[in-house]
Amino acid sequence: MLLLGFIEGFRLNYTGPRISSFASNLISAEVHKTETNLKLQKEVHLGRMLGPFSKIPISTLRISPIGVVSKNDGGWRLITHLSYPLNWSVNDFIDPEICKVKYSSFDKVVGMISELGNNVLCAKMDISQAFRILLVHPADFDLLGIFFDGKYYINKCLPEGCSISCALFEKFATFLHKTVALKAGIETLDHYLDDFFFAGESSTDNCTILMDTFNEVCRQLGVPLAENKTVGPTTCITFLGLEIDTVLMLVRIPPEKLDKLKFMLDQVLSKKKMALKELESITGLMAFCSRAIISARAFIRRFYDLIASVKNGKPYYTVRLNSEVKADARVWLNFLDQFNGQCYFPDRFWSTNESLELFTDSAGNVLLGCGAYFQGHWVQYQWPSSWADTSILLDITCLELIPIVLSFMIWGRSFRNKKILLRIDNQALVSIVNKRTSKSKRVMILIRQLVFLTMNNNIQFRAQHIEGEHNAIADALSRFQEQRFMDLVPNADSSPAAIPQEFLSMISELK
């Protein structure tokens, strides 16, 4: 597919009718008429557009709206709205399945550095004008028409507004990635679309070798690089907007991003409704920050669900903010109030609760309670008498989750930067812990508290089902069988850990 695309041009896989159509341009094109004209002239000069034509050059030419948006460097980006008109656009006739792209993750880069060790040398290089270096097959030129200031133009290269552009370019970028790794004989590189990342141990020249190889491969293929964006080799580098420090082995989030997120989340809590565009912006910023704050990803899902529920996809459509979204926003804000913007790299490997000597259990009787044990330290809590004859004591999932939250509340600092695998014999609880969601309001109170604690201590956690698990130590604690407990762990602390006030406050919320 790539070879044929390079020889003949890339097909857009459009399956709709080939008929002429016309659409008015976006307001930005008229407001910034000079800038739009200059962008079009530049594209023609670079051979990436045909035109200008005084008359329609192809009888079946489809005209889609264009506009311009300002860039951070003060320049302008030309955009083509190929999703207009709704249900009859170019994108509507391109199968969304073939447009799907699985990008590399920031986690993968952090994992690669962790494997190499401290003081890793890193570098990055960017491809210039990414999509625009791939030519479109002439048979699809009639889909990419532009009309501006009385003249017709035809896009010859992949436009950013085409739904298949990312998928096609990602295939090309993956080809470059594999070619560089093969030629260099080094595999410590990654890419995110047009952004390439290289790494090597400080005691080697691997990072430089990867950069030189990438540069040579791109030169041979005629792929332009954005020389002003090349950085490294260095031990401190910004990739995908986040700063990676390989000396301290941590990730830093820009302070201005965190300040902006705080402001936006305050808006969520203060408003009953919000424009869809604004909600999408908040969700995008949370997703950006959660690249570093991994546990926080649990508190984005309900924002995505709310966005997905909107049938009218217009940017300024007003969306009612539900209580679940507001509750998640409140957790984010509580966390951000004490967050310094730095997240240390997590452990490379997962630790089970058994390997950490962390055990929890609950008993379903108002005269009993729950217990937790961690490396000689222990705590137990008797259920409130007010729970007698209530449904809470019948909610085994809720009861078993309580001591897990209590243990993270008391010993969370000891779990910092760890990946913890909780082995649980309750299949329902395993599912809830892994999905970070439940239809039960009381369980969600516990889940939010648990995730908040893991965010504060940079902990990753997941659950695994295990048949017939029996925690004798925690079972003895939950049943207040003190002698049995001491027989099992004679070297345990002589007295239990204190119950935090925040735990008691959380318990009082459970109904």
Which of 241, 248, 312 lies closest to 275 in space, CA to CA?
Answer: 312
Contact in structure between 188 and 199 (CB atoms under 8 Å) = yes
User: Could you tell me which residues are beta bridge partners of residue 32?
Assistant: none
Task: Specify the pLDDT at position 197.
Answer: 98
pLDDT band at 6 (very low <50, low <70, confident <90, very high): confident
Quickly count: other Cβ atoms within 10 Å of residue 94's Cβ. Answer: 21
Q: What residues have CB less than 8 Å from 120, skipping those under 6 apart?
A: 113, 199, 200, 201, 202, 235, 246
pLDDT band at 76 (very low <50, low <70, confident <90, very high): confident
The torsion angles phi and psi of 315, rounded to 5 degrees, stand at: -55, -35
Residue 313 pLDDT greater than 70, yes or no = no
Q: What is the mean pLDDT of residues 63-73?
A: 88
Could you tell me what percentage of the chain is helix, strand and coil, using 3-state DSSP and rounding each to the nearest 5? 45, 20, 35
pLDDT band at 208 (very low <50, low <70, confident <90, very high): very high
pLDDT digits (tens, 9 = 90+) for 400-433: 999 999 999 999 999 999 999 999 888 999 999 9
pLDDT digits (tens, 9 = 90+) for 216-268: 999 999 999 999 999 989 999 999 999 999 999 999 999 999 999 999 999 99
Omega of the bond prior to 52 within 30 degrees of 0, cis?
yes
Q: What residues have CB less than 8 Å from 402, skipping those under 6 apart?
A: 362, 370, 381, 446, 507
Omega of the bond prior to 496 within 30 degrees of 0, cis?
no
CA distance 11 to 158: 10
Mean pLDDT of the chain: 93
Domains of the chain: 2-101+132-163 (3.10.10.10), 121-128+167-247 (3.30.70.270), 255-344 (3.30.70), 350-509 (3.30.420)
Residue 469 pLDDT greater than 80, yes or no = no
Q: Which pair of structure tokens corresponds to residue 142?
A: 């009639």
Residue 312 pLDDT greater than 70, yes or no = no
Tell whether the torsion through CA atoms of 460, 462, 466 and 471 is positive or negative: positive
Q: Where are the alpha helices (DSSP H) in 337-456?
A: 396-411, 427-435, 441-456
Task: Specify the pLDDT at position 315.
Answer: 67
Task: Specify the pLDDT at position 179.
Answer: 97
pLDDT band at 174 (very low <50, low <70, confident <90, very high): very high
Q: Which long-range contacts (CB under 8 A, 24 or more apart) does 275-279 make?
A: 275/315, 275/316, 275/317, 275/318, 275/319, 276/307, 276/310, 276/313, 276/314, 276/315, 276/316, 276/317, 276/318, 276/319, 277/315, 277/316, 279/303, 279/306, 279/307, 279/319, 279/321
Which helix (H) or strand (E) segment is 461 a member of? strand 460-465
DSSP type of residue 186? -
Quickly count: other Cβ atoms within 10 Å of residue 128's Cβ. Answer: 15
At 403, the amino acid letter reads: P
The torsion angles phi and psi of 234, rounded to 5 degrees, stand at: -155, 165
Q: What percent of the chain has pLDDT over 70?
A: 99
Which helix (H) or strand (E) segment is 234 a member of? strand 231-234
